[in-house]
Chain A
Amino acid sequence: MSHTLFIDGLEIPFAPGQTIMDAALAAGIYIPHLCHKPGLTPHGSCKLCTVDVDGRSAAACTLPATAGMKVDNHTPALQEVRKTLVQMLFVEGNHLCPTCSKTGDCTLQALGYHFGMLDGHFPPFYPLREIDASHPDIVLDRDRCVLCELCVRASREQDGKNVFAIGGRGAASHLIVNSPSGKLGDSDLTLDDAAAHICPVGAILPKNHGHEIPIGRRTFDLHSVTEADVAHVGLQKTEHHDE
């Protein structure tokens, strides 16, 4: 049996063990995603990669590809659902793009543009969340956290440190820090950790840095969020921040 599946009618190959997302990225097909980053364990939390697989909804980043699978990805209905998900992410936090130094480099913002989002649609939650500026080099601004757990996974799998976790339940879920005081300044996170740079939004940022990349040269000024390698572009850019 051949190792191929169909995404929007296009037949593409996959290697055994690959997810639909892995196969799509390898084939240069964009499936929207926020919590997925190649090299880290798939998480399936943001649901932006929701696709229809043989008539059922599934997260492309967690579902293994199987031979002959028929996947609907770029359909008007799915795009509308994904836009709604992005709107929900915006209203659940406090995302003030104009003042955030991640603006232009933020995947959530780029997805908002990608889906043609013109407003939040839902009433904003305006949650009260704690900012943690106790670390000398890194700021944790929970206002912007979308609970994607990229920092949790990067710290555990790439840095071997386990600095972050998600605490609380439901709407009260929030990013917590593994240190005696619960403060970032008392954790062993350092600026050269992958977890310090992997945040797709502006929740974890290098401290004391303003809008250093001029407008016109930011990640999403130069690249579309649909580019398969944009994740790596983003990482290279954040490293530039700290030179």
Chain B
Amino acid sequence: MEYHQTDGSRRIAIDPISRVEGHGKITLLLDADNHVHEARLHIVEFRGFEKFIQGRPYTEVPYFVQRLCGICPVSHHLAAAKAVDQLVGVDELTPTATKLRRLLHFGQVLQSHALHFFHLSSPDFLFGFGSDMAHRNIVGVLEDYPDIGLKGIKLRKYGQQVIAAIAGKRIHGAATVPGGMNKTLSNDERKALLVDVADIITWSQDAVTLNETIHLQHPENHAFATMPTNYVGMVGTQGEMELYHGGLRARRADGSDIFDQFDYTQYNAAIREEVRNWSYMKFPYLTTLGKENGWYRVGPLARVNLCDSIPTPLAEAARVRFRAFANGAYVHDTLAFHWARMIEMLYCAEAIQALLHDPEIMGTDLVVTGEKRREGIGVIEAPRGTLFHHYQVDEQGLVEKANLIVSTTSNNHAMNESVRSVANHYLDGQEITEGLLNHLEVAVRAYDPCLSCATHALGKMPLQVELVSHDGQLLSRVSKNIDGSIGCELD
């Protein structure tokens, strides 16, 4: 779309770009004194999955929804598969099928976390938020810190290998069937994955140490976009970290319970979604706390805060250090998302090793059958947070209704708050530069939002910052285009 301004300039907007995962827009509203009055992160993409799977056979659902994402397709695949299990009357899979799904999921979380830190976020921390944009990317990391960069690439590759061994492909494979899995893990595949797993654990430990060090040595990072919030995540029956199947735990910023061991099939009673007219992304909130106070954060920071322990020893030791940073209270530092994310990556690496040594992982009993039902709700802890998939089917097995609450949606309000916080602190009264723009991106990036998955790579997330006066007049717009170029208008 092209607009001609009265001063002769023009602006061209492609908005929204359809069917992409990585288009964000930030607007700032200034009051009469040019102070930031309001800051908003707009998600201007519309996907429509909930609508166009209506009328399709339920068996196709896990394969439709995994196309939501190229980074975390396994999470959508598994959340939908868990719902489909219920549709065919299966509440518990065979031990082998459950373990294969867990192994698949650990591979997924490991590769996604490695990708996010090393490929997308590490340049911010290794070079500085406002450093030269041309160098602030994974290529720059490989040039200046080849050891760190290569480990990151190998970590991600290993996670992808785990996925490929189970699903047949690294991205968008085929693993689940109603009530189980479609393939055993052969001994050759198991042995191939065991070859590198010790290195993967060591490198994950290194990644935890790197993030721990960065966060501890940069006190200015502690308050960056930070705010005390409610947290939501899944935990196991003993309160331990659990990414595949467990009860929901929600706690306030001070650690007090909102609910615990909550049956996720009743999620509708605990979480509602609000629609706002300026974003395609909904705003979920905890019903008991209401719209104003019920917003919450999900993802690595939430999970490492919420769990009472992590089942593997090295990750548990890292968790204890993480919590000690806040003297045992919850860590609210938004940039500590990265630290928590690496602790989870270490957990995944250790859990993969344990599962590969589990005799049942090579079992052949893969599918359970049951009596058909009309409704299924699958919930999983995806890399970015709690992921809800809810389906209703008609008597012929065609989807009637679908509701997905994806992790990034749950962090919507928090990301907006973080953007507002950074805008107030760093941009207030300043002329906007690319370096300052990146501060806003760093705040959003901490959440590893799915909107950045596709185009955020190599620091080229398309982004717009608009300065709007209190009477609604557009004062200035700075755009970072997909090719990384910066454009200013109305200056």
**A209 partner, pick from B64, B169, B173, B177, beta carbons under 8 A:** B177
The answer to whether B398 and A214 have CB atoms under 8 Å apart is no
Complex CA distance for A138 and B56, rounded to whole angstroms: 14
Complex CA distance for A134 and B397, rounded to whole angstroms: 9
| Count of residues in A whose CB is under 8 Å from the partner chain | 19
Output the least CB separation between A165 and chain B (Å). Answer: 23
Complex CA distance for A133 and B182, rounded to whole angstroms: 23
Q: A98-B63, A134-B396 are in contact. Are A210 and B168 (CB under 8 A)?
A: no
The answer to whether B67 and A101 have CB atoms under 8 Å apart is no
Complex CA distance for A209 and B178, rounded to whole angstroms: 7
Residue of A nearest to B398 (CB): A133
**B177 partner, pick from A134, A207, A212, beta carbons under 8 A:** A212
Q: Which of A95-113 contact B (CB under 8 A)?
A: 98-101
Mask: chain B, 158-183; 1 = CB below 8 Å from A; 0 = not:
00000000011100111011100011
Q: A212-B182, A215-B173 are in contact. Are A207 and B57 (CB under 8 A)?
A: yes
Output the least CB separation between A197 and chain B (Å). Answer: 17
Output the least CB separation between B391 and chain A (Å). Answer: 14
Complex CA distance for A212 and B398, rounded to whole angstroms: 19
Complex CA distance for A209 and B58, rounded to whole angstroms: 10
The answer to whether B174 and A214 have CB atoms under 8 Å apart is yes
Does A211 touch B at the CB level, under 8 Å?
Answer: yes
Output the least CB separation between B304 and chain A (Å). Answer: 34
Residue of B nearest to A183 (CB): B396
The answer to whether B178 and A208 have CB atoms under 8 Å apart is yes
Complex CA distance for A213 and B175, rounded to whole angstroms: 9
Does B478 touch A at the CB level, under 8 Å?
Answer: no
Output the least CB separation between A237 and chain B (Å). Answer: 14
Complex CA distance for A86 and B362, rounded to whole angstroms: 41
Complex CA distance for A133 and B177, rounded to whole angstroms: 19
Does B38 touch A at the CB level, under 8 Å?
Answer: no
Residues of A within 8 A of B168 (CB): 214-216
Residues of A within 8 A of B88 (CB): 208
Residues of B within 8 A of A71 (CB): none
Residue of A nearest to B61 (CB): A99
Output the least CB separation between A136 and chain B (Å). Answer: 9
The answer to whether B59 and A208 have CB atoms under 8 Å apart is yes
Mask: chain A, 216-243; 1 = CB below 8 Å from B; 0 = not:
1000000000000000000000000000
Complex CA distance for A35 and B325, rounded to whole angstroms: 69
Output the least CB separation between B23 and chain A (Å). Answer: 23
The answer to whether A211 and B174 have CB atoms under 8 Å apart is yes
Q: A133-B398, A139-B57 are in contact. Are A98 and B172 (CB under 8 A)?
A: yes
Does B60 touch A at the CB level, under 8 Å?
Answer: yes
The answer to whether B64 and A207 have CB atoms under 8 Å apart is no
Residue of A nearest to B167 (CB): A215
Does B62 touch A at the CB level, under 8 Å?
Answer: yes
Does A85 touch B at the CB level, under 8 Å?
Answer: no
Q: Which of B23-69 contact A (CB under 8 A)?
A: 55-57, 59-60, 62-64, 67
Residue among A207, A209, A210, A216 with most chain B CB within 10 A: A210
Interface residues on B, range: 20 to 34
The answer to whether A100 and B60 have CB atoms under 8 Å apart is yes
Does A15 touch B at the CB level, under 8 Å?
Answer: no
The answer to whether A133 and B397 have CB atoms under 8 Å apart is yes
Output the least CB separation between B48 and chain A (Å). Answer: 14
Mask: chain A, 127-160; 1 = CB below 8 Å from B; 0 = not:
0000101100001010000000000000000000
Complex CA distance for A225 and B44, rounded to whole angstroms: 43
Residues of B within 8 A of A139 (CB): 57
Residues of A within 8 A of B167 (CB): 215
Complex CA distance for A212 and B369, rounded to whole angstroms: 14
Complex CA distance for A209 and B84, rounded to whole angstroms: 11
Complex CA distance for A234 and B276, rounded to whole angstroms: 51
**A211 partner, pick from B56, B177, B396, beta carbons under 8 A:** B177
Output the least CB separation between A18 and chain B (Å). Answer: 40
Residues of A within 8 A of B183 (CB): 214
Output the least CB separation between B11 and chain A (Å). Answer: 31
Mask: chain B, 184-225; 1 = CB below 8 Å from A; 0 = not:
000000000000000000000000000000000000000000
The answer to whether B396 and A133 have CB atoms under 8 Å apart is yes
The answer to whether A98 and B177 have CB atoms under 8 Å apart is no
Output the least CB separation between A219 and chain B (Å). Answer: 14
The answer to whether A210 and B169 have CB atoms under 8 Å apart is no
Q: A207-B397, A214-B182 are in contact. Are A101 and B55 (CB under 8 A)?
A: no
Q: A211-B174, A215-B168, A215-B174 are in contact. Are A101 and B397 (CB under 8 A)?
A: no
Q: Which of A185-222 contact B (CB under 8 A)?
A: 207-216
**A210 partner, pick from B55, B177, B396, B398, beta carbons under 8 A:** B177
Residue of A nearest to B87 (CB): A208
Residue of A nearest to B57 (CB): A139
The answer to whether A131 and B398 have CB atoms under 8 Å apart is yes
Residues of B within 8 A of A209 (CB): 59, 177-178
Output the least CB separation between B165 and chain A (Å). Answer: 11
The answer to whether A210 and B172 have CB atoms under 8 Å apart is no
B residues touching A (Cβ–Cβ < 8 Å)? 55-57, 59-60, 62-64, 67, 84, 88, 167-169, 172-174, 176-178, 182-183, 396-398
- 21 A–B contacts, CB within 8 A, in A order: A98-B63, A99-B63, A99-B64, A101-B59, A101-B60, A131-B398, A133-B57, A134-B396, A207-B59, A208-B59, A209-B178, A210-B59, A210-B62, A210-B84, A210-B177, A210-B182, A211-B177, A212-B177, A212-B182, A215-B168, A215-B169
A208-B178, A214-B182 given. 9 additional CB < 8 A pairs?
A99-B63, A207-B397, A208-B397, A209-B177, A209-B178, A210-B62, A210-B178, A214-B174, A214-B183
